[in-house]
């Protein structure tokens, strides 16, 4: 039993007030005028009776009401002994392995503290963005990773662990308690009733740290001189400093520059004209020399130098000119439009003419992309090639009113629309009316007539544009959205993603996205397979635990290289304020109505207020009774 606000008990002095009022509340006798009181004897008994308290039951009710109200404000709590009584508590020693623990000596101090806390029955765990149970022998090999810490995720994991164990748990948390890892509110740190939390910090203050915060670079280029690398150098709790920044390509230094970083500020440095071989180049921007936290002194990225991806074209010259110019302007000229042997192409664009439909349909089912730009020939045929959708006629804009159609509906959830800009203002004068069937309509006129449709055929993607892009049937080729739309369509047809990407450690990669049923393989930075055959076949996700270069191999020119870096949220080494750290275990207990650094506490204020309400009812009944009696 305890009180959270014992100073309210000073108000118990107010209990004298009802007693005083009861002494004053005496019935006054009728007064009569006498010429002299010399013949009257002193009334001693009447004076004594006037000093005696009356209505003792009513007085008791009033005193109890006032006392209960004061006690409720003092907030009494009942401290449970659930953790220490009954079943013995399981000790769990959790060690922070986030990137910031790599700062000078922090992980060594954490391992020593964990060794002290690991008793005979204790369990060992490591945590950053998730909690992992470890064998005790792994303590000596415990090292910081690259993921960011999340105390909110840790609390969720501890709740699940407690539910699985079905017994009291005593958690010893060893961490630098980085401020960036705290959730928005203590409610997210709630713990069950019989989980006790003990904190063991290994950091005392915010340490200065410089980091390569971000790098912007193209994922795929045709020539090395097209590669432009821009890096941001950031300082956290630092003063003015001049830093040397080096660019490495394939493990060798390619360039070096000096940059002035303002106090707790950022500076930008650029590199151009790289000498890149064909294929993937593993690159890095590094601060030289490094500081106490080496994990963020470098930023890894990769660039692929490649020949253009071929898209075969069949159709009239006017449409070809518009499409060729759009593809040359898009994605640094990575896509090339050509004819000839279409079977070597990654995708086919057909505007009226096309190769043998049966052969093309078979190629699409195997994974070749197809863009069909409908024209008069297709209207005469009455159906869309390969997909077989029915064409019901041709719609011409009326010569009255505006004299053109406008796109009335677009599907913003599709990257092909979302990344291509607005179709607003594009004028359509001629549109073929197509029944979409099972196709997804990405853009349509106001009356629902499809303009752009997408459909999956086997492993390939088919896009259907229901209006020619010859500059006559519409003004789309002259609109700002045309080049981005053509680029996104080409990407979609060849299932082309940026061949390289930079991600943070701890993120999840879904390598099978857009790959259909194709086989793929994921290799971690050590060259080991991250997924088994069955996992690859069902498109299992991969957690990028290690920093370094990961490879996703799909074949057919769809390989990717993923550069995984330490999460930059770990660069700010400011710890949780000391007063916050002291109140954290208790706050976790209150939020979860359970365990913390002290035994669980159950508030009794509501029960006391209920008793005060009962006392108030009794007081009202007694007061009414006595007043009625006096009136009689």
Would you call 421 exposed, middle or buried from its count of C-beta atoms within 10 A (0-12, 13-18, 19+)? middle
Cα-Cα-Cα-Cα dihedral of 360, 483, 419, 366, to 10°?
Answer: 10
Q: Express each pLDDT in 274-321 by its tens digit.
A: 888 888 999 999 999 999 999 999 999 999 888 878 889 998 889 999
Give dist(CA 449, CA 409) in Å, integer: 10
Q: What's the pTM?
A: 0.69
Q: CA 201, CA 179: separation in Å to the nearest integer?
A: 12
pLDDT of residue 587: 56
Give the orientation angle of helix 56-73 with respect to helix 16-24, to 10 degrees. 160
Residue 166 burial (CB count, 10 A): 7
pLDDT at 583: 75
Domain ranges of the chain: 2-26+44-80+605-631, 90-206+574-599, 209-306, 309-493, 500-562
pLDDT of residue 594: 41
State which fold the 309-493 domain adopts. Answer: Rossmann fold (3.40.50)
CATH no. for 90-206+574-599 = 3.40.50.410
Distance CA 597, CA 159 (A): 16
Q: What's residue 597's pLDDT?
A: 42
Determine the Cα angle at 43 with ends 37 and 46, to 5°: 135
Task: Locate 375 and state its tokens.
Answer: 């024209």
pLDDT score, position 69:
83
Report CA 26 to chain centroid distance, whole Å: 72
Instruction: Give the separation between CA 630 and CA 58, rounded to whole angstroms.
Output: 14
What angle (nearest 5°) sits at the alpha carbon of residue 575, between those of residues 569 and 578?
Answer: 155
pLDDT of residue 620: 82
Q: Which residues of the chain have pLDDT under 50?
A: 45-51, 81-85, 513-517, 590-599
How many Cβ atoms are within 10 Å of 550's Cβ, its own excluded? 23
pLDDT in tens, 442-472: 999 988 899 999 999 998 999 999 999 988 8
- The answer to whether domain 90-206+574-599 and domain 309-493 are alike in fold is yes
Question: Whole-angstrom Cα distance, residue 427 to residue 337?
Answer: 26
Among candidate residues 67, 557, 83, the one with its CA nearest the CA of residue 346: 557
Give the closest residue to 469 by CA, choosing from 436, 427, 406: 427
Class of domain 209-306: mainly beta
């Amino acid at each position: 039993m305890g009180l959270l606000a014992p100073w309210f008990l000073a108000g118990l002095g107010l209990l004298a007030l009802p007693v005083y009022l009861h002494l004053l509340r005496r019935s006054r006798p009728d007064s009569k005028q006498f010429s002299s009181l010399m013949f009257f004897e002193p009334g001693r008994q009447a004076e004594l009776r006037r000093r005696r308290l009356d209505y003792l039951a009513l007085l008791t009710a009033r005193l109890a009401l006032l006392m209960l109200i004061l006690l409720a404000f003092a907030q009494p709590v009942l401290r449970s002994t659930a953790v220490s009584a009954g079943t013995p508590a399981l000790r769990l020693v959790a060690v922070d392995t986030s990137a910031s623990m790599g700062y000078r000596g922090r992980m060594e101090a954490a391992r020593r503290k964990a060794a002290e806390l690991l008793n005979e029955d204790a369990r060992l765990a490591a945590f950053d963005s998730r909690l992992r149970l470890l064998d005790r022998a792994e303590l000596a090999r415990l090292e910081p990773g690259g993921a960011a810490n999340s105390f909110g995720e840790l609390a969720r994991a501890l709740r699940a662990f407690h539910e699985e164990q079905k017994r009291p748990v005593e958690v010893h948390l060893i961490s630098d308690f980085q401020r960036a890892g705290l959730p928005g509110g203590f409610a997210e740190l709630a713990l069950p009733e019989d989980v006790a939390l003990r904190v063991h910090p290994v950091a005392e203050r915010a340490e200065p740290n410089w980091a390569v915060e971000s790098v912007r670079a193209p994922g795929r280029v045709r020539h090395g001189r097209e590669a432009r690398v821009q890096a941001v150098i950031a300082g956290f709790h630092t003063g003015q400093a001049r830093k040397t920044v080096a660019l490495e390509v394939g493990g060798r230094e390619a360039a070096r520059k000096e940059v002035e970083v303002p106090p707790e500020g950022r500076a930008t440095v650029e590199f151009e004209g790289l000498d890149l071989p064909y294929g993937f180049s593993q690159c890095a921007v590094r601060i030289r020399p490094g500081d106490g936290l080496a994990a963020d002194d470098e930023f890894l990225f990769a660039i692929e130098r490649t020949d253009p991806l071929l898209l075969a074209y069949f159709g009239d010259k006017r449409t070809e000119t518009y499409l060729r110019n759009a593809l040359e302007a898009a994605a640094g000229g990575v896509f090339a439009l050509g004819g000839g042997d279409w079977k070597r192409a990654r995708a086919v664009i057909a505007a009226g003419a096309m190769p043998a439909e049966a052969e093309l349909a078979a190629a699409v089912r195997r994974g070749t992309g197809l863009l069909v730009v409908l024209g008069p020939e297709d209207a005469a045929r009455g159906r869309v090639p390969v997909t077989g959708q029915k064409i019901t006629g041709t719609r011409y804009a009326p010569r009255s009113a505006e004299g053109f159609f406008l796109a009335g509906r677009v599907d913003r959830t599709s990257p092909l629309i979302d990344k291509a800009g607005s179709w607003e203002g594009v004028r359509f004068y001629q549109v073929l009316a197509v029944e979409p069937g099972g196709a997804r309509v990405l853009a349509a006129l106001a009356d629902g007539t499809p303009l752009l449709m997408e459909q999956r055929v086997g492993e390939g993607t088919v896009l259907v544009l229901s209006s020619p892009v010859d500059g006559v049937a519409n003004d789309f080729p002259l609109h700002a959205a045309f080049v981005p739309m053509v680029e996104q369509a080409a990407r979609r047809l060849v299932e082309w993603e940026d061949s390289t990407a930079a991600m943070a450690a701890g993120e999840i990669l879904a390598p099978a996205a857009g790959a259909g049923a194709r086989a793929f393989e994921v290799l971690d930075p050590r060259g080991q397979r991250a997924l088994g055959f069955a996992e690859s076949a069902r498109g299992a996700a991969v957690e990028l635990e290690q920093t370094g270069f990961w490879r996703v191999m799909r074949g057919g020119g769809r390989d990717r290289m993923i550069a995984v870096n330490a999460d930059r949220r770990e660069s700010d080494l400011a710890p949780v304020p000391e007063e916050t750290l002291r109140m954290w275990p208790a706050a976790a207990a209150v939020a979860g109505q359970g365990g913390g650094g002290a035994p669980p506490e159950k508030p009794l204020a509501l029960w006391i207020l209920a008793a005060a309400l009962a006392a108030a009812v009794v007081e009202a009944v007694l007061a009414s009774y006595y007043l009625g009696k006096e009136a009689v």
